[in-house]
Structure formats: C-alpha cells, structure tokens
C-alpha cells in the first residue's frame, strides 16, 4: 500500500498548475490533489481509433480467411456488455 508520493513537476507544468490553482483561489498542492481525486474516481475513458486503415485491414482479413462474426452476434454481445 502506498504511503504517499512526492511528485516532481518540470517548471512548465508547475507554472501551469500554479496558474490554474490561482484562478480558483487554491494552493497548487490542493488543486493537484483535487485533480487526482477526480481522475481516480472516474473510470478510464475508452477510446476509439478512427483510423480507416484498421477497418480495411479487418475487412481484408475477413475476406481472406472467411472468418467473421455476424452482426446480430456482435450486437447482442455489445448489448450484454452495456447492461452490466
């Protein structure tokens, strides 16, 4: 279990943190703690890679191998995952 951390910020980040903390009338330490708490309380954001080359590669592999998953099966899996 972590007992605590001292985090070193480079001068540029420290200046940005101080400026942001000053805008809300907080100390940089308290403001940083608040930011960390918020980030830790939220689940990580899922990202979608919008590169069309990925979709083309998946399609080409499916055409080449004949292996694919029918849409109704994919849809049902997605629905089940989001019901949790």
In a domain, 74, yes or no: yes
9 within 8 A of 17, measured Cβ to Cβ:
yes
Task: State whether 15 and 35 are in the same domain.
Answer: yes
Q: Is 82 exposed, middle or buried (0-12, 13-18, 19+ CB in 10 A)?
A: exposed
In a domain, 6, yes or no: no
Helices then strands, counting H and E runs in the chain, come out as 4, 0
What pLDDT, in 10s, does the model give residues 34-70? 999 998 988 777 777 788 898 899 889 999 999 888 8
In a domain, 37, yes or no: yes
The predicted structure's pLDDT at residue 2: 65
**Which domain, by its residues, includes 61?**
52-83
In a domain, 18, yes or no: yes
């Amino acid at each position: 279990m972590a007992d605590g951390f001292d985090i070193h910020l480079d001068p540029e980040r420290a200046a940005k943190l101080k400026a942001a903390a000053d805008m809300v009338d907080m100390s940089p330490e308290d403001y940083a703690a608040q930011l960390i708490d918020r980030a830790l309380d939220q689940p990580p954001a899922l990202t979608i890679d919008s590169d069309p080359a990925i979709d083309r590669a998946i399609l080409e592999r499916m055409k080449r191998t004949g292996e694919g998953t029918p849409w109704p099966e994919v849809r049902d899996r997605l629905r089940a995952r989001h019901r949790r």
